[in-house]
């Protein structure tokens, strides 16, 4: 898989790539003084109203030098968020279409490559999906996580058509509704999803939940083993026909997974489960790893509960501040904000994260996270969390 990146040169010297595909909404290049009082240039991705926008589609080169000095006040805010402060000089920023590396993608056992960062679309209503999802795609989210139950597949079709990307550059997930538990209905629903999304193939199709939602939280409830095998059969057929490039499950526990693994010739390629601080199913994650089943984190921001005041006067912010204050935790990048820290946490336990955001600022924020935090930091966070909720 190839991905768009920004390659940055300083006086013809290659400085590196921005991991994120690009910033079509405009760029922000500002100056600030470093600790020694020297003037430095730095790049940020924030939208600043009224700034010139560049359409990076194609081979566009952008020369940047001192004449780009934006008002100094602009650098008084957050400071650089996506690129280190670099020496003032002449920069060339070039959009390149290069082979993805392990930081960008995870490869499923059937060889299909999945962009590590996906855009969650639960609660993105169909009427706003064309705009919200287009904004996300144009900001660089090339992986979209939808579902039949979200009711936004046709809105996503419009978003894709109006975006800067082509279908071939995108990775689209959908899910067979949790309430669909027969072969015939599942088969029909897959064709409907293809139609609504306006595509000949879906990159990843999941069984949304082992049980219909109304039974999901019932302890010792019926597990729908026979019925899930029926749905799986329909998905395997569509996979073999090329309608689905990969297939998997969501919210499946170890027994639910074993049911499919032991009774089908195709093993699920993915299990999409909730992962955030305070909610990590380590045993299940280990089982998935043993079985080569990719783990996707959904609700990595705990559905915004991480940011709500109701959460014990916000435990998560307290933990975040405590972490920042511990100098020995060197691997902890203190330029990460709270959301980015918790996304890094979810990413450390999974192969893919799927944050959802409505605003462009949240979308851009969530593109920056560390793929893997040190184990010591993960344990520290868990320890702080356990103590905080006692
Ligand atoms: N398979 C399943 O059963 C299942 C279940 C749940 C979710 N999912 C998938 O996972 C995706 C994400 O989960 P989720 O939607 O539950 O929630 P989430 O990603 O954990 O949190 C989304 C919420 O966090 C806010 N937010 C996003 N970025 C933020 C930031 N940088 N700072 C502060 N707040 C921020 C969003 O606000 P704004 O919207 O205002 O930006 C939104 O309210 C879903 O959209 C869906 O695709 C799957």
The pLDDT tens digits for 27-56 are: 333 334 456 655 443 444 333 333 333 333
| Higher-scoring residue by pLDDT: 316, 73 | 316
The Cα 282–Cα 268 span in angstroms is: 19
Q: What are phi and psi of 247, to 5 degrees?
A: -135, 150
> What number of other Cβ atoms are within 10 A of residue 119's Cβ?
27
Q: Which of 141, 150, 224, 342 is catalytic?
A: 150
Residue ranges per domain, the chain? 2-99, 105-389
For residue 318, give the H/E element and its range.
helix 315-324
Which range, of 92-96, 118-122, 158-162, averages the lowest pLDDT? 92-96
Is 320 designated active site? no
Q: Whose CA is nearest to atom 12 of ligand 1?
A: 299
pLDDT, residue 332, reads 64
Say if residue 238's pLDDT is above 80. yes
* Top mean-pLDDT range of 81-85, 341-345, 368-372: 341-345
Which range, of 63-72, 161-170, 184-193, averages the lowest pLDDT? 63-72
DSSP state of 31: E
CA angle (18 as vertex; 363, 63 as ends), nearest 5: 110
Query: Of the residues 121, 122, 174, 204, which should be mutated to test ligand 1's pocket, given the most ligand atoms within 8 Å of the CB?
Result: 122
Q: Whose CA is nearest to atom 4 of ligand 1?
A: 298
pLDDT, residue 109, reads 98
| pTM, to two decimals | 0.86
The Cα 1–Cα 86 span in angstroms is: 30
Which range, of 26-35, 83-92, 131-140, 300-309, averages the lowest pLDDT? 26-35
- Ligand 1 contacts (CB < 6 A) are 120-122, 145, 208, 250-251, 272, 298-304, 307, 339, 354-359, 362, 365-366
Residues 6+ apart with CB under 8 A from 21: 3, 4, 5, 140, 142
| Tens digits of residue pLDDT in 16-35 | 675 443 333 333 333 344 56
Q: Compute the distance from residue 63 Cα to the ligand 1 centre, in Å.
A: 37
C-alpha distances (whole Å) from 302 to each of 5, 135, 336, 343 are: 29, 23, 18, 10
Task: Classify 105-389 by CATH class.
Answer: alpha beta
């Amino acid at each position: 898989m190839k991905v768009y990146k920004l390659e940055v040169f300083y006086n013809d010297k290659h400085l590196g790539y921005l991991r994120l595909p690009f910033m079509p909404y405009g760029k922000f290049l500002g100056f600030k003084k470093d600790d020694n009082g020297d003037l430095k240039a730095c790049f940020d991705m924030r939208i600043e109203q009224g700034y010139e926008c560049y359409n990076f589609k194609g081979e566009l080169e952008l020369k940047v030098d001192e004449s780009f000095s934006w008002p100094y006040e602009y650098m008084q805010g957050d400071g650089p968020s996506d690129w280190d402060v670099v020496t003032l000089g002449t920069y060339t920023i070039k959009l390149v279409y290069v082979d993805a590396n392990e930081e960008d993608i995870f490869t499923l056992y059937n060889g299909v490559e999945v962009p590590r960062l996906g855009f969650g679309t639960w609660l993105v209503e169909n009427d706003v999906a064309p705009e919200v999802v287009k904004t996300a795609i144009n900001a660089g989210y090339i992986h979209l996580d939808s579902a039949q139950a979200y009711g936004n597949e046709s809105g996503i079709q419009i978003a894709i058509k109006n975006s800067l990307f082509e279908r071939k550059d995108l990775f689209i997930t959908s899910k067979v509704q949790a309430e669909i538990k027969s072969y015939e209905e599942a088969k029909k629903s897959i064709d409907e999803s293809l139609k609504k999304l306006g595509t000949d193939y879906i990159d990843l199709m999941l069984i949304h939940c082992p049980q219909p939602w109304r039974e999901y939280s019932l302890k010792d409830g019926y597990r729908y083993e026979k019925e899930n095998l029926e749905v799986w059969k329909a998905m395997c057929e569509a996979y073999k026909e090329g309608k689905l490039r990969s297939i998997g499950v969501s919210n499946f526990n170890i027994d639910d997974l074993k049911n499919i693994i032991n009774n089908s010739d195709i093993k699920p390629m993915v299990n999409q489960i909730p992962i955030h601080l305070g909610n990590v199913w380590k045993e299940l994650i280990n089982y998935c790893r043993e079985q080569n089943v990719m783990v996707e984190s959904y609700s990595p921001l705990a559905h915004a509960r991480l940011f709500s005041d109701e959460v014990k006067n916000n435990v998560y912010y307290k933990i975040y501040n405590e972490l920042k204050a511990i100098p020995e935790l060197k691997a902890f990048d203190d330029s990460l904000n709270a959301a980015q820290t918790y996304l890094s946490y979810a990413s450390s336990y999974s192969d893919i994260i799927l944050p959802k955001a409505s605003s462009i600022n949240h979308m851009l924020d969530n593109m920056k996270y560390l793929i893997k935090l040190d184990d010591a930091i993960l344990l520290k966070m868990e320890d702080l969390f356990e103590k905080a909720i006692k």
